[in-house]
């Protein structure tokens, strides 16, 4: 088995690891970096649970080779809170408005699609400050949720947008 | 101002923060030191004898640490003690494609995957049975040798009231056949279990299960390890919907592999395996005969169901009874007969999915009620209101009805959707439909006979005023942890965010039977309230003494115990706790709940159906049918649900909306179907769970009947709201195009067939559905040819 | 977790280097040591089609040549004609205002491929080279073992869709291809020796196993669309769900208006056979007309006739045939002057 040395920039932190070259970004995040917040529902690109941001763009970690990520910024749910990972005084992590709105609206039921949903929603709000309901529905159409019927998720994203 | 400080408020769930930061630890998120990775070898045959399993090459493969097979755990198991017909891994016979046969543990998952292909299983094919009719008729092929008649797993016949008299008195009798296709839960989290057998000879199993307590019992039975040495921890389930409420082969395999290797072993199913684990909605054929007077009053109902159970029992005995048990609780039925048959077939076992066994008959019955209303020229909504089963009554099959809000649900829907005015007025291709329903707030009986509580809870208050609630419930996304915290917080006068919850742990928490049958809010809620009220009494007494105010004048809320008449007189909750502990010792109290006696009958079979309280609900669906392509769009579903009292309205609405979503999926596109014995769509691409761009606009209306026995008046909210959505959509499609859909799912193909647009002949239909059982066609010779063909198929080469 | 099989990843910086690597690693050679024969070396761009297939062990290449680091592999250029680099993502194409306005069918097609995430990853080149699909084939190794495999992976086994079929019946499923066909696209390939241009309409053939007349040692590098003056185009897709799903029937149509009359027309279909194809019999009657209902009905009838769906995708044969007809009617009607 060929291990390769990889340097990834995840949630603002440089991480160097040796990983099997056929392992996906999903596997590396969860198994090598301990970032189990990124979930997996099918590993075939058919559910969206493993959505992470690469340079701010939502992609599926289950179909991404870490070697090809290069020096792009990878953001996972663990990095969603503003200043996450920072320990200096005044840089304590504060929850992202999406996290607060999701809690308030009950947009996470079982919570399993939630990390991927949050990352998709963050990318949407980063490019579209006040998305319409139709824009939200399109944006999250690659993230299956089996619990909510999506309604509370729409409301949470709208609420987070309105507070930005 | 509300009488409550917690109940009825839209507070964030206490476990939200873990969900939203990625900190929630689901089973597959656990990585233990020295942990091995397991994978399960599954049957490639629908029905075969296992001649030999050779694990030698797999064991010799570098990195493989252990292999186990069925012979290592031959003890029969299954969720229902009376019908245990499974083994953890197949012993000498396989009965469906995907059945677990062996399991390996290896240093990593790549090795485990590779090693599976090195295990050689020598199969001798047996004739498979795939349909209800074949299963009923083929005496010569037995999927289980124990079946008395052909492949019948269970047969039930119950009769109440004067059926013949009822039909004789009827002015009009409807006789309809229905078919409900099977479907599956498809939670986004696949099943996962981590077992760790330690040097102290104790086993810990972390697993995505809805039923840690029942699994605990089965582990003891199969592994031969005393329960005192087993600890089951239900990890947060990433969705379950009934699909994680059986004991599963991979759980036992992980446990045994850990016992053998004395290392932690994790087995996580991949998506395809979840479709084989199944235990989802039974395909059911139904015949419903209903007699009515001219004014619509029901005189008699004869309901018959044939359930395709798949290869094993699962909850099948309960499912069978449930198809007949709850039809009586919505509308007045003076005479009722129920005949139910569940058969074995060579497909993954069916079991409980949200609405367990009641979804299929409710679909048939509500479609039929719609037809009766039309036959009698009655408004379907007004008609339902006219024949409602009254509150505080008993049904013909001796079920106790207490609070009953179906009438209010119907009124709320009429106000919100103007159903009655809009029905029949939307133009061709557009339709509106209605249906009602009911569900249980927990089964009246546990699955194994005992006199113990159904739910127990323990609360501890620490010296800083911290409250810890311990209860064996399993958090499956329904919000049970938050319910426990909210009920305890309300009762004690603190906020849910100050409550620590320890749930789903057989060592740390008292038994709760599990997150199934929508029992948790009612039963665990009452248990927690019971425990909390005991502690509250101690704290209030201590506060009364300190404040010199009579105890009955004291209220507790927001972390204070205060004088109702002069709120400036108060004591902080934490101070009261110190006073109470000084006086009474450590502040711990246990509470428990058991349904009252007398909520059901005493006949054989009376165990399924009773509940301490029924939830009621109704839905209105609005659809658009594309008359050219046959595609159906459900534009909106409005559901009104009587949940007794909404402990947290946001969470109740979430359950109601999620139920509507799932019901929509079941009738529009989801189907667990097979080609031969092979699942036709075992992936999230092919099994069509609705996306955000498909899902209708969902509106939830909460109706509160405030149940006298529920915790703060609450009843269930997680399952019942699915039921009316399916017939409401079928009835809406009828309103749109004049075609009755007496079978699910409603596909474009079927719409085009009905509209006469499927082919050039242009023959139209006013109904799509079965006309009866497809019996008399089981031809052993043909079947034998098929067996040969199925065996040959695997070898089939191109002719040269 | 379902994992990728092991492979060696190489990351050329240019198409020339990629072609060289293909040749060096025995492009087109089959590895027969793995139960089902598999290509020894394969190209991967976005990976959204190949990686799921690899996880299901439909392919287990020893060497994967990633095109992700090829310089200038992505971009959209306009100088009279439109030049799209093969590595351009489907999102970039869907969001490009020029494509939206002048090559509408392509933007519409790119926009309905799978999901937003997969469009962010998947490339136009990858979509053009999408493997044909079949619900007897796009299954796991376990499933296919239980079935006994099929012709597409094991040439000595029958086709499961129609056991007497002499060829593989897997279905062309790329959304962008019919759009590119009606827009008159040409594709450019490079190999170790040089390059060649091929009209997209010449690229596909009626064979589920080798659906493209493309050599194994070639790399698709660019797509060129001619000047779009006077053309209006659209793409309509039938699928079960409004996201994730491949088409079960799809129609692209383009017409060039000369005043009130159609001067040129093209109609293409996919997901209705192994080959995405221009339907000449549908386009011909449109020329010289005003796209009146009668003409459109004639065209739709021709598409209906050309559509040969089989029972190997979601949906049914009759439903999909009918969809082909209805989508053609709707597509053409939408191209009438506003």
pLDDT digits (tens, 9 = 90+) for C187-245: 999 999 999 999 999 999 999 999 999 999 999 999 999 998 999 999 999 999 999 99
Kindly determine whether residue B22 and residue A78, on different chains, have CB atoms separated by under 8 Å. Answer: yes
Residue pLDDT, tens place only, A121-152 = 999 999 999 999 999 999 999 999 999 999 99
What gap in Å lies between CA B618 and CA B405, rounded to an integer? 10
Note the pLDDT of residue B590. 98
Task: State the maximum Cα–Cα separation within chain B, in Å, rounded to a whole number.
Answer: 101
How far from B156 is each of B284, B307, C209, C320, CA to CA, in Å?
15, 12, 53, 43
Model confidence over B487-517: pLDDT tens digits? 999 999 999 999 999 999 999 999 999 999 9
pLDDT grade for B799, boundaries at 50, 70 and 90: low
Q: Tell me how crowded residue C79 is: count the other CB atoms within 10 A of its CB.
A: 6
Tokens of B98: 């995907």
Q: What tens digit of pLDDT does each residue of B173-205 get?
A: 999 999 999 999 999 999 999 999 999 999 999
- The β-bridge partners of C238 are C249
pLDDT at B253: 98
- Closest listed residue to residue B104, CA positions, set B59, B62, B42, B72: B59
Q: pLDDT tens across C150-163, in order?
A: 999 998 999 999 99
Q: Which of B629, B679, B747 sits opposite C238 (nearest CB)?
A: B629
Q: From CA B744, how far away is CA B686, in angstroms rounded?
A: 17
Nearest Cβ partner for A139 among C6, C52, C116: C116
Q: Indicate the pLDDT class of residue A83, thresholds 50, 70 and 90.
A: low
What is the mean pLDDT of the segment spanning C98-121? 98
Which partners does chain B have (≥3 C-beta pairs < 8 Å)? A, C
Confidence of residue B784 (pLDDT cuts 50, 70, 90): low
Residues 6+ apart with CB under 8 A from B264: B32, B33, B34, B35, B36, B194, B195, B196, B258
How near does any CA of chain A get to the CA of C10, in Å?
10
> Cβ separation of B477 and A46 shorter than 8 Å?
no
Cα A79 from Cα B21, distance rounded (Å):
8
Token pair, residue B271, equals 């998506």
**B707 in contact with A, Cβ within 8 Å:** no
E runs forming strands in B443-525: 455-461, 467-471, 499-503
Which residue of chain B comes nearest to C315, CA vs CA?
A: B749
CB interface of A with B, residues 115-154, below 8 Å: 115, 118, 136-138, 140-153
Q: What residues 144-163 of chain C have any CB closer than 8 A to a CB of chain B?
A: 145-148, 151, 155-158, 163
From B43, B49, B40, B41, select the one nearest B97 (Cα to Cα).
B43
Question: Residue B197: how many CB atoms within 10 A of its CB?
Answer: 25
Q: Number of C-alpha atoms within 13 angstroms, CB side, residue A118?
A: 31
pLDDT of res. C288: 98
Which residue among C146, C157, C245 sits closest to B798, beta carbon to beta carbon?
C157
Closest chain B C-alpha to A91 CA, distance in angstroms: 17
- Find the helix or strand (DSSP H, E) in which A97 lies: helix A97-105
Whether the per-residue pLDDT at B1 is higher than 60: the answer is no
Q: How far is CA C125 from CA A131, B553, C59, C90, C177, in A?
A: 31, 77, 19, 9, 10
**Touching B: C residues 79-138, CB under 8 Å:** 135
CA distances from B754 to B193, B431, B741, B761 (A): 47, 16, 10, 12
CATH code 1.10.150.120 for A97-163: yes
Give the per-residue pLDDT at A1: 54
Q: For B373-384, write each residue's pLDDT tens digit.
A: 999 999 999 999
Q: Kindly state whether C330 is in contact with chain A, defined as any CB-CB distance less than 8 angstroms.
A: no
A37-65 pLDDT, tens digit each: 999 999 999 999 999 999 999 999 999 99
Over residues B763-788, the mean pLDDT reads: 78
Residue predicted with more confidence, B109 or C34? B109
Residue B729 pLDDT greater than 60, yes or no: yes
**Minimum distance, in Å, between the CA of residue C286 and any CA atom of chain A:** 35
User: So what's the pLDDT on residue B291?
Assistant: 98
Kindly list the residues from chain A whose CB atom is less than 8 angstroms away from the CB atom of residue B479: 106, 109
B705: distance to nearest CA of chain C, Å? 38
DSSP string, C198-230: EEGGGTB-S-SSS-B---TT-EEEEEEE---TT
Task: Report whether pLDDT(B609) > 70.
Answer: yes
For residue A87, the model assigns a pLDDT of: 60
Q: Directed axis angle between helix B725-737 and helix B649-668, to 10°?
A: 50
Round the average pLDDT of chain B to a whole number and report it: 96
Residue B782 has pLDDT above 90, yes or no: no
Per-residue confidence band for C80, with pLDDT thresholds at 50, 70 and 90: confident
Coil, strand or helix at C98: helix
The pLDDT of residue B98? 98
CB-based contact C6 A44, cutoff 8 Å: no
The reply to whether A21 touches chain C by the CB within 8 Å rule is yes
Asked if residue B268 lies in contact with residue B39, where contact means CB atoms within 8 angstroms, the answer is no
Does A115 score more than 80 pLDDT? yes
**pLDDT digit string, tens, across residues B133-156:** 999 999 999 999 999 999 999 999
Asked whether B91 and B71 are in contact (CB, 8 A), the reply is: yes
**pLDDT per residue as tens digits for the range C113-137:** 999 999 999 999 999 999 999 999 9
| Contact (CB<8Å) B189/A41 | yes
pLDDT value, residue A92: 67
Write the CA distances from A12 to A54, A75, A84, A131, integer angstroms. Answer: 12, 8, 9, 27
pLDDT the model gives residue B774: 86
Facing C116 at nearest CB: one of A20, A27, A58: A58
Helix (H, G, I), strand (E, B) or coil at A41: coil
Q: Got the DSSP string for B396-423?
A: TT-PEE----HHHHHHHHHHHH-HHHHT
β B614-625/C81-85 pair status: unpaired
- The reported pLDDT for the residue numbered B322 is 98
Residue pair C117/A41 in contact (Cβ under 8 Å)? The answer is: no
Residues 6+ apart with CB under 8 A from B51: B122, B123, B124
For chain B, which domains are there?
Answer: 16-23+453-593 (3.30.365.10), 31-126+188-240+244-277 (3.90.1170.50), 156-183+280-445+601-748 (3.30.365.10)
Delimiting residues of CATH 3.10.20.30 domain(s) in chain A:
3-79
Q: What is the ipTM for the molecules in this complex? A: 0.97
Range 132-151 of C in CB contact (< 8 A) with A: none
- Among residues 679-698 of chain B, which lie with CB inside 8 Å of chain A? 683-685, 689, 691-693, 695, 697-698
Q: Which domains does chain C have, with CATH numbers?
A: 1-71 (3.30.43.10), 233-334 (3.30.390.50)
Mean predicted confidence (pLDDT) in B234-241: 98
* Chains with ≥3 CB–CB distances under 8 Å to C: A, B
Q: Where are the alpha helices (DSSP H) in B493-572?
A: 525-547
Q: Which chain C residues are within 8 Å of B629, Cβ to Cβ?
A: 238, 319, 322-323, 326-327
Q: Which two tokens stand for residue C211?
A: 């659906």
The size of chain B, in residues, is 800
Kindly identify which residue of chain B lies nearest to residue C242, measuring between CA atoms: B693
Residues of chain B found within 8 Å of residue C53, distances taken between Cβ atoms: none
CATH topology of domain A3-79: Ubiquitin-like (UB roll) (3.10.20)
Chain C hits for B798, Cβ within 8 Å = 151, 155-158
pLDDT for C33: 83
**pLDDT, position B483:** 98
Strand partners, A28: none
Q: Confidence class of residue B689 from pLDDT cuts 50, 70 and 90?
A: very high
pLDDT band at B800 (very low <50, low <70, confident <90, very high): low
Confidence of residue B776 (pLDDT cuts 50, 70, 90): confident
B449 reaches A (C-beta below 8 A): no
- Residue C94 is predicted with a pLDDT of 98
pLDDT digits (tens, 9 = 90+) for B249-279: 999 999 999 999 999 999 999 999 999 999 9
Establish if C334 touches chain B: CB-CB under 8 angstroms: no
CB < 8 Å to A103, chain B:
12-13, 16-17, 20
Rounded CA separation B14/B4 (Å): 18
- The yes-or-no verdict on residue C32 having pLDDT over 90 is no
Residue B794 pLDDT exceeds 80? no
């Amino acid at each position: 088995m060929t291990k390769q040395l990889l340097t990834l920039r995840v949630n603002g932190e440089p991480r160097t690891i040796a990983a099997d070259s056929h392992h996906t970004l999903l596997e590396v995040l969860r198994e090598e970096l301990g970032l189990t917040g990124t979930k997996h529902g099918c590993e075939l690109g058919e559910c969206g649970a493993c959505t992470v941001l690469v340079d701010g763009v939502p992609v599926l970690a289950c179909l991404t080779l870490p070697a090809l990520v290069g020096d792009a910024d990878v953001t996972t749910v663990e990095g969603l809170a503003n200043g996450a990972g920072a320990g200096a005084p005044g840089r304590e992590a504060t929850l992202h408005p999406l996290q607060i709105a999701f809690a308030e609206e009950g947009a996470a039921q079982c919570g399993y699609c939630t990390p991927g949903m949050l990352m998709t929603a963050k990318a949407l709000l980063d490019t579209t400050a006040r998305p319409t309901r139709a824009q939200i529905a399109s944006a999250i159409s690659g993230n299956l949720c089996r619990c909510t019927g999506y309604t509370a998720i729409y409301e949470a994203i709208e609420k987070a947008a309105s507070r930005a | 101002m509300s009488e409550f400080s917690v109940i009825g408020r839209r507070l964030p769930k206490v476990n939200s923060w873990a969900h939203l930061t990625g900190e929630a630890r689901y089973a597959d998120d656990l990585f233990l030191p020295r942990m091995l990775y397991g994978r399960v070898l599954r049957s490639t045959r629908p029905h075969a004898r296992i001649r030999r399993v050779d694990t030698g090459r797999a064991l010799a493969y570098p990195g493989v640490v252990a292999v186990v097979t069925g012979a290592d755990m031959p003890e029969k198991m299954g969720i229902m003690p009376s019908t245990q017909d499974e083994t953890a891994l197949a012993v000498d016979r396989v009965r469906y494609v995907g059945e677990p046969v062996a399991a390996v543990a290896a240093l990593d998952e790549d090795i485990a995957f590779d090693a599976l292909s090195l295990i050689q299983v020598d199969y001798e094919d047996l004739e498979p049975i795939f349909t209800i009719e074949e299963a009923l008729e083929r005496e010569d092929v037995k999927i289980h040798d124990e079946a008395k008649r052909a492949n019948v797993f269970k047969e039930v016949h119950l009769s109440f009231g004067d059926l013949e008299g009822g039909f004789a008195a009827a002015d009009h009798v409807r006789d309809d056949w229905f078919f409900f296709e099977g479907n599956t839960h498809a939670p986004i989290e696949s099943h996962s279990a981590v077992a760790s057998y330690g040097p102290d000879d104790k086993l810990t199993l972390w697993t995505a299960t809805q039923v840690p307590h029942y699994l605990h019992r089965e582990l003891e039975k199969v592994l031969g390890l005393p329960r005192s040495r087993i600890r089951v921890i239900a990890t947060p389930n990433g969705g379950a919907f009934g699909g994680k409420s059986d004991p599963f082969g991979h759980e036992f395999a992980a446990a045994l592999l850990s016992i053998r290797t004395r290392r932690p072993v994790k087995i996580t199913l991949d998506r395809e395996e979840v479709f084989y684990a199944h235990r989802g909605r039974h395909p059911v054929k139904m015949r419903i005969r209903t007699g009515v007077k001219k004014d619509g009053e029901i005189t008699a109902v004869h309901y018959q169901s044939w359930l395709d159970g798949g290869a094993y029992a699962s909850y099948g005995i309960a499912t069978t009874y449930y198809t007949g048990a709850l039809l009586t609780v919505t509308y007045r039925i003076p005479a009722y007969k129920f005949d139910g048959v569940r058969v074995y077939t060579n497909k993954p076992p069916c079991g409980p999915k949200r609405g367990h066994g009641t979804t299929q008959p409710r679909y048939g019955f509500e479609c039929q009620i719609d037809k009766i209303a039309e036959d009698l020229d009655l408004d379907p909504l007004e008609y339902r209101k006219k024949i409602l089963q009254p509150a505080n009554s008993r049904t013909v099959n001796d079920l106790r009805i207490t609070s009953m809000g179906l009438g209010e649900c119907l009124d709320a829907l009429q106000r919100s959707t103007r159903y009655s005015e809009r029905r029949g007025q939307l133009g061709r291709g557009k339709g509106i439909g209605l249906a009602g329903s009911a569900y249980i707030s927990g089964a009246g009986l546990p699955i194994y006979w005992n006199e113990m509580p159904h739910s127990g809870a323990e609360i501890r208050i620490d010296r800083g005023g911290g409250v810890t609630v311990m209860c064996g419930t399993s958090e499956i996304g329904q919000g049970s942890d938050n319910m426990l915290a909210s009920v305890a917080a309300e009762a004690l006068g603190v906020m849910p965010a100050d409550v620590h919850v320890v749930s789903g742990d057989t060592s740390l928490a008292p038994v709760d039977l599990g997150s199934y049958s929508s029992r948790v809010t009612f039963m665990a809620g009452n248990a927690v309230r019971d425990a909390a009220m005991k502690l509250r009494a101690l704290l209030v007494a201590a506060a009364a003494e300190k404040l010199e105010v009579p105890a009955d004048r004291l209220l507790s809320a927001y972390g204070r115990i205060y004088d109702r008449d002069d709120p400036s007189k108060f004591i902080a909750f934490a101070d009261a706790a110190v006073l109470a502990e000084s006086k009474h010792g450590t502040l711990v109290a246990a509470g428990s709940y058991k349904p009252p006696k007398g909520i059901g009958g005493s006949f054989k079979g009376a165990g399924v159906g009773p509940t301490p309280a029924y939830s009621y609900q109704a839905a209105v669906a609005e659809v658009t049918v594309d008359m050219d392509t046959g595609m159906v769009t459900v534009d909106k579903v409005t559901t009104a649900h009587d949940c007794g009292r909404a402990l947290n309205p946001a969470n109740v609405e979430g359950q109601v909306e999620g139920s509507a979503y799932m019901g929509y999926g079941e009738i529009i596109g989801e189907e667990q179907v097979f080609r031969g014995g092979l699942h036709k769509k075992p992936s999230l691409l092919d099994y069509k769970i609705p996306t955000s761009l498909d899902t209708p606009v969902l509106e939830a209306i909460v109706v509160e009947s405030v149940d006298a026995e529920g915790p703060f008046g609450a009843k269930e909210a997680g399952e019942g709201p699915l039921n009316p959505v399916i017939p409401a959509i079928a009835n809406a499609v009828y309103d749109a195009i004049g075609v009755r859909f007496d079978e699910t799912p409603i596909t474009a193909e079927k719409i085009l067939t009905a509209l006469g647009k499927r082919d050039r002949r242009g023959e139209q239909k006013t109904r799509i559905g079965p006309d009866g059982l497809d019996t008399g066609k089981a031809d052993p010779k043909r079947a034998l040819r098929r067996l040969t063909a199925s065996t040959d198929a695997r070898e089939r080469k191109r002719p040269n | 977790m379902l994992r990728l099989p092991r492979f060696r990843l190489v990351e050329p910086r240019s198409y020339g280097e990629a072609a060289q690597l293909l040749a060096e690693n025995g492009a087109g050679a089959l590895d027969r040591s793995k139960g089902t024969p598999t290509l020894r070396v394969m190209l991967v761009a976005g990976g959204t089609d190949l990686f799921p297939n690899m996880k299901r062990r439909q392919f287990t290449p020893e060497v994967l040549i990633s095109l992700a680091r090829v310089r200038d592999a992505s971009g959209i250029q306009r100088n009279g004609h439109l030049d799209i680099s093969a590595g351009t993502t489907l999102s970039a194409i869907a969001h490009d205002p020029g494509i939206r306005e002048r090559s509408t069918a392509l933007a519409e097609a790119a926009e309905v491929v799978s999901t937003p995430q997969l469009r962010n990853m998947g490339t136009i080149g990858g979509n053009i080279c999408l493997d044909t699909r079949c619900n007897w084939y796009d299954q796991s190794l376990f499933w296919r073992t239980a079935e006994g495999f099929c012709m597409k992976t094991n040439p000595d086994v029958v086709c499961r869709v129609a056991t007497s079929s002499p060829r593989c019946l897997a279905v062309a499923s790329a959304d962008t291809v019919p759009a590119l066909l009606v827009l008159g696209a040409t594709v450019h390939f490079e190999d170790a020796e040089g390059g060649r241009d091929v009209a997209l309409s010449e690229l596909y053939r009626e064979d589920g196993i080798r659906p493209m007349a493309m050599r194994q040692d070639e790399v698709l590098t660019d797509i060129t669309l001619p000047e779009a003056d006077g053309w209006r185009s659209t793409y309509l897709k039938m699928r079960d769900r409004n996201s994730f799903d491949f088409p079960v029937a799809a129609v692209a149509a383009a017409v060039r208006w000369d005043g009130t009359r159609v001067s040129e027309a093209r109609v293409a279909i996919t997901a209705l056979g192994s080959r995405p194809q221009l339907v000449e019999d549908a386009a011909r009657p449109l020329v010289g007309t005003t796209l009146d209902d009668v003409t459109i009905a004639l065209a739709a009838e021709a598409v209906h006739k050309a559509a040969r769906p089989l029972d190997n995708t979601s949906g049914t044969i009759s439903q999909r045939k009918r969809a082909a007809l209805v989508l053609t009617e709707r597509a053409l009607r939408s191209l009438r002057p506003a």
